[in-house]
Structure 1
Amino acid sequence: MGKLKQYYKKYKSQKARGRDYFKWLYTYTKPYLGRIIALMIVSVLWTYIGIEYSIVSQKIIDMAGNGHITKSAIIVFMVLIIIMLVGQAFEDLFAALLNEKYSFGIRKQVYDKIIRSVWLGTQKFHTGDMMTRMTSDAGNIANGMVRVIPNIIVFLIELILVFSTLYTSSKLLAVTALFLTPIGIVLAYALGRKLKKYQIKVQESETAYRSFIQESLANILVVKAFSGEDRFSDELTNLRNSRFNWVWKKSKLSAASNLVMSGTFQLGYMFAFIYAAGQISRGEITFGTMTLFLTLFGRIQAPIASLMRELPGVVSIFASAGRVMDIQEIPLEDRFTDRDIKGTIGVKVNNLSFAYDKDFIFSDISFDIKPGDFVGIVGKSGIGKTTLIRLLMNFITPSSGDVYYYDTLGSKMQLSATVREFVSYVPQGNTLFSGTIRKNIQIGKEDATDEEIWEALDMAVCREFVEKLPNGLDTVIGEKGVGVSEGQAQRLGLARALIRKSEFVVLDEATSALDEDTESLLLKRLSELTPKPTCILITHRKSVLDYCNREFVLEDGSIKVKEIG
């Protein structure tokens, strides 16, 4: 009895998940539904023309047997061939374009979902995994909804049309051909669940494969520094072998099903051939009618065989949809549309606690960074300095407590993703994109003029080296700033943040690659800005504190505030 309940519960869960699949797929397919239906109508039209072609072929063969072929029959025959060839080319072209638009539509929506979702939720997925879901899985879904599902519907319509035509000529052959359908349905049901399992494993192995390549190439200096070339090459081979194993299992299952279906169809065709040949020998039908029988019999078999061939595509739709839906289930960030504060801004934290899983980083901390403060945050590595910044910028949300920003007039604004509109942030490390220096700086302000860009470069002590580059602002740098030094890349990151002229600036070890003189000049310029922004500086350098009026020391989940000067 317990097993029965467990089975029923599992069945209900799978049924509910299935409804979610259909609802999700319909939502994504709705904008393209009209074009998909148009494509199906065209396919049905070609099926009808194909049947007419078979009938015309029969008449021409019978005419040839009687020693006379009319010109009109030849013309109709040639026109039908041309229509089928041109029509098929048009259909393929239209389907390819629709497939591309549909797959991009999914990728765009998934991409938008990722960049607007809670940051911590996206970190549960490896970058390579998200790439696989956005590319391979999105492609499987698009191919399934644009080609596979419409093809199945068209094949069923084709089956009905061809069966009706054959039935008028030979009831026995029509029923015999249709008898193969239950075999296809039973085989499809038996294979469906196993194919889905293998398809998921294939996609997971592709994720591991891509993730490894992406990480090892992104950290190629580390690979080389530890003489890991052979080790990493062997690991890639192991991942490829794992993927090959699942591809092989899936391919074997598909090949076995195709073999069974092909064998069944060949037996059916053999029966049709012997039956028609016997009728000719008895003078009951003409050679043209025999050709029509065999052509139509084959056209009944073709949709059934095609339905079986499309089965892996149907499985791929649901397997891939489930993987994409996992990303879609990441909650969106809270965002307040109205900004209620202006001018110089401060931030107040009351009784804040935060834990990754069950490990608390902060416990019941409170502090107030007043408008115009320059606050230096210090503490041991791993103590939570960057985590604190992520909390203040709403990249992650507190386990408990309250955070709000306020201005000198007393207006308040609760913490949400909207605060990033008035906070300029320079994270640790090299965060430049491949492309021109101009485009990198304009990430901070999309419509920035050259004058504004040079002003920001001056502020970040960048003008001198940028002017010396071959193409100035239009100099192309590689991924992670390849083409400039680490210190230069860090200063360009600072310029990108400062061009916003934000009321609140956060520098997370943003001057660590600079020499002391350059760092001192940059901080001096920042502190002399009018109006003066509020600034948080995470640092390990005592010299940075010379420009701060307060020091926050992080220790064991608490914060000690020290006044400076």
Structure 2
Amino acid sequence: MKLKKYYKKYKEDKARGKDYFKWLYKYTRPYMWKIGILMLVSISMTYVSIEYAIASQKLIDMAGGGKITASAIAVFVTLMLVNMIVSMIVDMFTTMMNEKYTFGIRKQVFDKLLFSEWLGTQHFHTGDMMTRMTSDAGNVANGMVNVVPEIIVLIIQLIAVFFTLYVNSPFLAIFALFLTPGGVILAFIIGRKLKRLQIKVQESETAYRSFIQESLANILVVKAFSNEDIFSDKLVGLRENRFFWVWKKTKLSIGSNVVLNGTFQLGYMIAFVYAAGQIARGEITFGTMTLFLTLFGRVQAPIAALARQLPGVVSIFAAAGRIMDIQDIPLENRLESVEMKGAVGVEVSDVSFAYAKEEILHDVSFDIKPGEFVAIIGKSGIGKTTLIRVLMNFINAKKGTIEYFDEHGTRTEASASVREFVSYVPQGNTLFSGTIRDNVLMGKLDATEEEMWEALDMAVCREFIEKLPDGIDTVIGEKGVGISEGQAQRIALARALIRKSPFVILDEATSALDEQTEFELLQRLGELSPKPTCLLITHRTSVLKYCSRELMIDNGYVTMQDL
């Protein structure tokens, strides 16, 4: 039974491993020729380093003979300078490519989130997504730009230096290489454990960042309940949890390096004693001894470096797996755009929707005619916002159909494309940091100054904006810090209205407005020509007098009645 379980786990790991390689290849392909050039330069520097060691031997032997030529010094200095300059250039270009690679992953993950199903993105905390886009993307980039190429270069260096040493001292070459299996075995033993620890480290980083992000976003709530000390202590607890996993991973990495380096130091000491014995017997010169020890060290160095690169390799796969989780979110259904003329209505037939197993909407059917104002009412948490999300295709109905149609009979099924002719004002404060102008123009990036002020007038914003120090160019903070809730709500309304969409959805969008401002807004909205269709989620009875019908949601069922 155990054997069967282990075999199944082996097959799953093997399949997942293939997925890792495919994903890494896809993201690395645009940079492969650049990485290849840097690798060739690094490999060529292996030859330079060997020549440098040989030049050192010749210089020492010349010094022992009492005569050093200028050409020998020139060759020695030139090789040293070439090594320094080329290393500096390689480091500079590697750093820049690392940055481009990291941004490339972040951009593609960001785009994936933008165009994926909204409900799929909600399975991840925003702090978790930030960690995957920053820390994990950085680990993958560093691994593919630095770690993997360095491993390949180290292997080539090992082969080249080994044969150079073998020509000069077969015993030392074979002895140095004899230490390799120990490093490989050690790397294999700790590799799997390091990957598990790396995942734990990233998970602790996610919890740490998520807590900070949520705390700062809701700092007023923290202060309102006098929870400053509690939150401060919780942050310390999260930091201690992260420290625990970082410490375990670090101990394992350092311990393996100590064992490996100790083995190599012992080997170097034996090589030193062996070469010293040859000098004592007059079999080699001091210069040859220097060459032996230099080459011996250069055989050992790649082996030690390969073992030290193990955590980097582990980080690549651990980070890639976490990013791939985001890549697995399905994309939104987006049909070809259809041009709608005049006001737009919607027909909903037998639509049901459930979060997990809890069904929120049951066989919902209704139709809203072009130009109608319809109020959506019902108790809090009954499914009003869920219905709006289904209508806008933020979430997909479990069954049923939704079709939009205009006054001329043009019809289109609900998909992400319907948002091109639907304006939406969600509940809550949804403004971005920046100027008021920037926030309004999000609704229509190419809007003229006249169109912008027309939308602001419709949302009853002109009076308070003109009193601000910088007017429309006043900078506000995240979620509208610097203006009142009512003013922020009106700017959000202007952002939606500037599009002049034929279908408008307001989700508690007038809750922070006084009755007079609400009256002016809805009156202006109803006077537009052509008159848009408007759905209003509301708890205010005052809104009902502007509507021709109301849509009541109760226990997942919908009823429609005239007002």
TM-score of the aligned structures, taking structure 2 as reference length: 0.99
SS for the counterpart of 2:44 is helix
State how far apart, in whole Å, the 2-side matches of 1:91 and 1:139 are. 19
Aligned to 2:32: 33
TM superposition shift of 1:340: 5.2
User: C-alpha offsets along residues 303-354 of structure 1, whole Å, 9 cap, x if unaligned?
Assistant: 0111011000000000000000000000000001231543211000001111
1:33-73 deviations in whole A, cap 9, x for unaligned? 11111111111112211111110000000000001111111
Q: Report the equivalent of 2:347.
A: 348
State the match for 1:494 in structure 2. 493
Aligned residue runs from structure 1 range 130-145, under 5 A: 130-145=129-144
> What's the CA shift for 1:32?
0.5
Does the aligned pair in 1 maintain the 2:423–2:499 contact within 8 Å? yes
Q: Is residue 36–residue 146 contact of structure 1 (8 Å, CA) maintained in 2?
A: yes
Mapped partners of 1:337, 1:259: distance in 2: 61
Number of aligned pairs?
563
Q: Counterparts of 1:524 and 1:445 in 2: how far apart (Å)?
A: 23
Structure 1 residue aligned with 2:428: 429
Equivalent residue number for residue 9 of structure 1: 8
The corresponding residue for 1:188 is 187
Q: CA deviation at 1:475?
A: 1.1
- 1:54-69 equivalences in 2 (<5 Å): 54-69=53-68
1:171-204: CA deviation from partner (whole Å, max 9, x where unpaired):
0000000111111100000000000000000000
CA RMSD of aligned residues (A): 0.8
- Contact 2:199/2:318 (CA < 8 Å) preserved in 1? yes
Contact between 1:340 and 1:413, CA under 8 Å: does it hold in 2?
Answer: no
Structure 2 counterpart of 1:274: 273
Task: Report the equivalent of 1:402.
Answer: 401
Counterpart-to-counterpart distance in 1, 2:446 and 2:35: 40
CA distance in 1, matches of 2:556, 2:37: 63
Q: Match for residue 450 of structure 2? A: 451
Whether the 8 Å contact between 1:391 and 1:398 is mirrored in structure 2 is: yes
The 2-side partners of 1:229 and 1:364 are apart by 47
**331-340 vs 376-385, which deviates more?**
331-340
CA distance in 2, matches of 1:467, 1:275: 88
Partner of 1:121: 120
User: For residues 396-445 of structure 1, what are the alpha-carbon distances to aligned partners after superposition, in whole Å with 9 as ceiling and x for unaligned?
Assistant: 11111111111122221011000000000000010000011111111111
Q: Secondary structure at the match of 2:504?
A: strand
- Residue 6 of structure 1 aligns with an amino acid whose one-letter code is K
Partners of 2:372 and 2:262 in 1: CA distance: 81
- Confirm or deny: 8 A CA contact 1:173 1:297 kept in the other structure: yes
* Structure 1 position 448, deviation (Å): 1.6
Structure 1 Cα separation of the partners of residues 57 and 549 of structure 2: 95
1:48 alignment counterpart:
47
Match of 1:152 in 2: 151
1:463 aligns with 462
Residues 355-410 of structure 1: per-residue CA shift (max 9 Å, x gap):
11111111111000111010011111111110110010001111111111111222
Q: Give distance in 1, aligned partners of 2:354 and 2:74.
A: 80
Q: Is the 8 A contact 2:508 2:538 kept in 1?
A: yes
In structure 2, C-alpha distance between the alignment counterparts of 1:311 and 1:448, rounded to whole Å:
54
Residues in 1 aligned to 2:372 and 2:321: alpha-carbon distance in whole angstroms: 49
SS of residue in 2 equivalent to 1:500: coil
Instruction: Tell me which amino acid in the other structure corresponds to 2:368.
Output: I
Amino acid at match of 2:491: L
How many angstroms apart in 1 are the aligned matches of 2:28 and 2:494?
A: 43
Partners of 1:199 and 1:250 within 8 A in 2: yes
Instruction: Find the counterpart in structure 2 of residue 326 from structure 1.
Output: 325
Q: Hey, what's the Cα distance between the residues in 2 that align with 1:71 and 1:225?
A: 79
3-state SS of 1:431 partner: coil
Structure 1 residue aligned with 2:288: 289
Q: Distance in 1 between matches of 2:24 and 2:461?
A: 50
| Contact persistence 1:166–1:297 (CA under 8 A) | yes
Structure 2 gaps of 5+ residues are none
Rounded Cα–Cα distance in structure 2 between residues aligned with 1:337 and 1:314: 43
Please name the residue that 1:71 is paired with: 70
1:377 to 2:376 alignment? yes
Aligned: 1:562 with 2:561 = yes
Contact 1:340 1:412 in 2 (8 A): no
Q: Report the equivalent of 1:414.
A: 413
8 Å contact from structure 1 (residues 551, 562) kept in 2? yes
Corresponding residue number in structure 2 for 1:300: 299
Distance 2:432 2:337 in 1: 31
Where 2:309 maps in the other structure, the secondary structure is: helix
Task: Give the letter for the 2:129 counterpart.
Answer: M
1:557: how far off? Answer: 1.1
Q: SS of 1:501's equivalent?
A: coil
Instruction: Please say if residues 340 and 421 of structure 2, whose CA atoms lie closer than 8 Å, have aligned partners that are also in contact.
Output: no
**Cα distance in 2, alignment partners of residues 224 and 526 from structure 1:** 39
Report how far residue 452 of structure 1 moved.
1.5
Taking the aligned partners of 1:513 and 1:376, their CA distance within structure 2 comes to 17
Q: Distance in 2 between matches of 1:77 and 1:370?
A: 87
Secondary structure of the residue aligned to 2:560 is strand
Separation in 1 of the partners of 2:156 and 2:356?
Answer: 55
- 2:82 — aligned with what? 83
Q: How does 1:191-270 map to 2 (within 5 A)?
A: 191-270=190-269
Tell me the residue number matched to 2:504.
505
| Distance in 2, Cα, partners of 1:79 & 1:135 | 41
Amino acid at match of 1:350: S
Matched AA of 2:303 = I
| Inter-partner Cα distance in structure 2 for 1:297 and 1:220 | 60
Partner Cα separation in structure 1 for residue 248 and residue 498 of structure 2: 56
Q: What SS does the corresponding residue of 1:269 show, helix, strand or coil?
A: helix
CA distance in 2, matches of 1:343, 1:30: 48
Rounded to whole Å, the distance in 1 between the matches of 2:72 and 2:156 is 27
Please give the secondary structure, in 2, of the residue aligned with 1:512. Answer: coil
- TM-score with structure 1 length normalisation? 0.99
Q: Structure 1: give runs of 5+ residues left out of the alignment.
A: none
What secondary structure does 1:91 align onto? helix
State how far apart, in whole Å, the 2-side matches of 1:36 and 1:555 are: 61
In the alignment, what sits opposite 1:440? 439
